Amino acid sequence: MDVCVIGAGYVGLVTGACLAYLGNQVIAVDIDPARIDLLKQGHVPFFEPGLLELVKNSVKAGCLDFSNDLSTAVKKSKVIFIAVGTPSLANGEPDLSQVITVAKEIGAALEEDRQRADGGRGRADGMRADKSRPYTRIIVNKSTVPVGSGNWVEMLVAQGMQLRQPVGVAVRTSDKLSGNDAPAFAVVSNPEFLREGSAIVDSLYPDRIVIGSSDQSAIAEMRNLYQPIIERNFAVPAFLSNLSVRTDDIADAASCQEKTERHPLVPFIVTDLPSAELIKYAANAFLALKISFANEMSGLCEKAGADIREVTKGIGLDKRIGRHFLNAGIGWGGSCFSKDVHALIESAREYNYSTPILEATLSVNERQRKVLISKLQEELKIIKGRTIGLMGLSFKPNTDDMRDAPSLTIINQLLKMGAFVKAYDPVSNAACRAHNPDLAIAYCDNVLSLAKDCDALLLITEWDEFKQANWQAIAQVMKSPLIIDGRNILSEEEIRQAGLTYRGIGH
């Protein structure tokens, strides 16, 4: 199938590369010429395990191309994914400016293509003259957008078409994509559920595929597009064959092939547009809530002398609750949870509906980022003049994403308190420098250089390298023997045996 993905960012590039791997002809479009040039040169603009190889293989197979020309890409494609960013505005609402621009440009391209098919003649009914040439398109909202955006995008596309039409020609859309009077387009919601660090596995081996539409022809086309994923009947990519299928708090030992054998069919959920849009927001909000709940309980555990690790293990074995996303620590970060929870709160306010649970989820997460500072003060008393080392910078492992990373909150607080801050991340040093050029910290190349002369080390990101650290060697170069584990993933026994003081979260 001919596919266009507009937005070669995290979601768009991963989606496009995976669809190309399955044999579709994919054009990834982006407004940034530098990004397109980078992709054409065989590079990717961010770190994601396996993505570079997947992109290179798909390009080599002739299934993936990159372009700045949205109009041409749309005209060549049957399915058009909108995968542009929707970052938060200052008031918490999502910034939909990129969606507006893209939707109108899609409409303009569709109208130009329709007029070309009609031999340059505009028609008063907005339909094609050449009945033998279908030019219907499916426009897929992959960007995370508020409830009601499907109808809104349809309006924007129609406005874009209207701008390209001769005077007196009206745009008509229909609920059907087949028949002699096929409409120009149909809008479908298809939310993404990708986790940074395991996005390719999540794309090719998803827990479910959600389609929001009332158009049976559009639904059938989307099912056809995703059929290889639904039936799991494609070959496991060679570079993923030994990659663990990650979850939030464990690395599942099952390979991709084993997952295929355990779950032969992926649920294909068809619903209305508003429900599909809300599924995405509700899913992320609930995951954020689980983490905030674990963090709130961790504070109570410290007061009562309990161990949050045992508490979450005990409640997580209840199948109604589940063990995933019950990790206590320094809170969640990244581009999704905060943005989506804020957007959901703002959507509810439009209906004069209060969301105290969602608001508490945010406040608990904000409070949790200050926990490490409190523990430092308890142990060192005075922070001014101390040297503090951060183990990790990205908001989670297996990515270089620094958006809303807890490390930045902690660094800025330490600098404000007069500390000298050092940091080492196996992947994210360069990204942190690039996005925070004024951050007055020292970047290190390995754990030992980080630990040298430090009064304390703070575990921020749960990279495997840190789990396997040589604590005996680290103890030899530190100024003071303090390790604060912000993710509860280090071996307390090994750290204490090395003569170091260990502090965790909630125990």
Name, in order, each residue with C-beta under 8 angstroms of 335's C-beta and a sequence gap of 6 or more: 10, 87, 401, 403, 404
Kindly tell me if the per-residue pLDDT of 208 is higher than 80: yes
Determine whether 336 is an active site residue.
yes
Amino acid identity of residue 377, one-letter, is Q
Kindly tell me if the per-residue pLDDT of 22 is higher than 90: yes
Q: Measured between alpha carbons, how far is 491 from 503 in angstroms, rounded to an integer?
A: 11
Q: Measured between alpha carbons, how far is 205 from 193 in angstroms, rounded to an integer?
A: 11
Among 97, 192, 186, CA closest to 144: 192
pLDDT digits (tens, 9 = 90+) for 286-335: 999 999 999 999 999 999 999 999 999 999 999 999 999 999 999 999 98
* pLDDT band per the 50, 70, 90 thresholds, residue 94: confident
Residue 144 is classified by DSSP as -
Which residues are bridge partners to 71 per DSSP? none
| Strand ranges (E), 7-119 | 25-29, 64-67, 79-82
Question: Mean pLDDT across the stretch 71-86?
Answer: 94
Question: Mean pLDDT across the stretch 445-465?
Answer: 97
Question: Mean pLDDT across the stretch 213-230?
Answer: 95
Among 448, 427, 429, CA closest to 439: 429
Residue 448 is classified by DSSP as H
Q: Measured between alpha carbons, how far is 473 from 450 in angstroms, rounded to an integer?
A: 12
> Phi first, then psi: what are they for 83, rounded to 5°?
-130, 40
Q: List the catalytic residue out of 4, 256, 336, 432.
A: 336
Lowest-confidence segment of 23-37, 49-63, 96-110, 163-177 by average pLDDT: 163-177
Q: Measured between alpha carbons, how far is 389 from 386 in angstroms, rounded to an integer?
A: 10
Q: Measured between alpha carbons, how far is 454 from 387 in angstroms, rounded to an integer?
A: 5
In this predicted structure, what is the pLDDT of residue 147?
A: 85
Question: Mean pLDDT across the stretch 394-415?
Answer: 95
Residue 318 is classified by DSSP as S
Task: Please count the other Cβ atoms lying within 10 Å of the Cβ belonging to residue 369.
Answer: 22
pLDDT averaged over the chain?
A: 89
Question: Mean pLDDT across the stretch 232-237?
Answer: 87
Among 21, 24, 12, CA closest to 54: 21
